[in-house]
Amino acid sequence: MPRVKNLLLHGTSGSIKKEHVYRTYNNKTYLSSFPDMSKVKLSPAQRASNQKFAEAVAYAKKYLSDPEQTERLIQRMKNNKKLRNMNPQNVLIQEYMKEHSDKLSERAADKLVLLYLQKFQLSTRHQAALHYLLRFKTLSNAIYMSINKVSKPTATRDLKEMINLGVLFCLGKGAGAKYQLKVIIAPEEVEKDPLTKELE
């Protein structure tokens, strides 16, 4: 990554026409090519995380559009040593991500899947989708395809089967359809079940 010696560009950060990126480290400015992300394939978990971050950014922008809310936030930041030197938008994003983060571990999701299997006849693909839903709350046809490495028609058929079993319900239609759990088994029930305790 070549160092930029032009004084006019010293301290510059950001991209130009998605071709070049300027970055400043230790008071030195460097130029690099804009990263090509076209061939990067994100995992379902990464896509869920990116979606959550986009929601956090939208929440922060809406919050800061209200002067009264912004003033209350700034006052709260002044009273908190950890927040007072942060950017208000970053504070809101951080708080949103923390509040809406994935709070269920993979191990806890594994145990919950066992409880669902006591109530429903689920295939291996159904179980993989259920595991994802327990952790990330919402599922799409595209994510189901990615999790189970199946075609769109197969994913659609599997998801309809889960709806008919009474496990899921669907919000929306077509490509924008989202699936959520219809039957919720609370994580606390895992501790009460002798079958899941055997996994300890």
Residues 155, 181, single domain; the answer is yes
Provide the 3-class DSSP secondary structure of residue 134: helix
Type of residue found at 52: K
Residues 110, 191, single domain; the answer is yes
Residues 31, 86, single domain; the answer is no
Distance CA 187, CA 25 (A): 45
At 49, list the tokens. Answer: 């995380």
Residues 90, 171, single domain; the answer is no
Dihedrals phi, psi of 50, to nearest 5 degrees: -65, -40
Select from 111, 121, 110, 163 the least CA-distant residue to 139.
163
pLDDT, tens digit, 9 for 90 and up, residues 25-73: 556 666 666 565 566 676 676 777 777 788 888 999 999 999 999 999 9
pLDDT, tens digit, 9 for 90 and up, residues 95-148: 887 777 656 778 888 888 999 999 899 999 999 999 999 888 889 999 999 999
Residues 145, 69, single domain; the answer is no
The last residue of a domain, from among 69, 84, 99 = 99
Residues 91, 116, single domain; the answer is no
Looking at the 3D structure of the chain, how many domains does it have?
A: 3
* Residue 26 pLDDT: 59
Residues 87, 137, single domain; the answer is no
Select from 49, 52, 44 the least CA-distant residue to 142.
44
At 12, list the tokens. Answer: 């510059």
Domain extent for 19: 1-40
Confidence of residue 194 (pLDDT cuts 50, 70, 90): very low
Residues 193, 132, single domain; the answer is yes
Contact 92, 64 (CB under 8 A): yes
For the domain that residue 149 is a member of, what is the CATH number?
1.10.10.10
Residues 110, 193, single domain; the answer is yes
Dihedrals phi, psi of 71, to nearest 5 degrees: -60, -40
* Residue 174 pLDDT: 82
Helix, strand, coil % (nearest 5) of the chain?
Answer: 55, 15, 30
